[in-house]
Amino acid sequence: METGIVGQPAPPLEHIRWVNEHGDERSPLTLAELGQGFKILYFFQDWCAGCHAHGFPTFVTLAEELREKGVGLAAIQTVFEGLDVNTFDRLRENQRRYGLRVPFGHAVAGSASEDAVPAIMEAFRSGGTPWFVVIAPDGRVVYDGFRLDAKSLVQALRPLDA
């Protein structure tokens, strides 16, 4: 399967159970609620070593550098394996662990099939975790992949300071 949907309109955030930036369960989140500027989505699994070694540190840097500059951020646990470990309750634990005051979502595969993945992974054609999606203000996906260089992205969005 080809990964990523760069250049295409970002699909809606569907079939996801959410907590807000304070860890309280909330109604479904829309991309529009993340603001009118750039948006960054981070797909992870709690048991994913790479998510903790690279993904979360990258996402924390992005949150610290860009949240106050109008960039909307959200983290989504995309559970396609390890249902007993990658639970809804882990959202709040990771939110606290990394000091992230952004919405966290929990997306589970809709079928018990061994190769089933959550709908959000299919929509963005993500290849697993950790996975980053950057959406431009016009709603088009400008990055959709495993590794994201936080410093380069912060530099690229530096004109937001003006």
pTM for this one?
A: 0.93
Domains of the chain: 17-26+37-161 (3.40.30.10)
Q: How confident is the model at residue 160 (pLDDT cuts 50, 70, 90)?
A: low
Backbone angles phi, psi at 28, to 5 degrees: -55, 145
Amino acid at 158: R
Two structure tokens written together for 70:
């109008």
Complete edge-to-edge strand list for the sheet that includes strand 104-108 = 25-26, 17-19, 104-108, 72-79, 39-44, 131-135, 141-145
Mean of the per-residue pLDDT values for the chain?
Answer: 92
Q: What is the pLDDT of residues 85-122, one digit of tens each?
A: 999 999 999 999 999 999 999 999 876 566 688 999 99
Strand partners, 72: 39
Q: What is the pLDDT of residues 36-45, one digit of tens each?
A: 999 999 999 9
Least confident of 19-33, 51-65, 147-161: 147-161
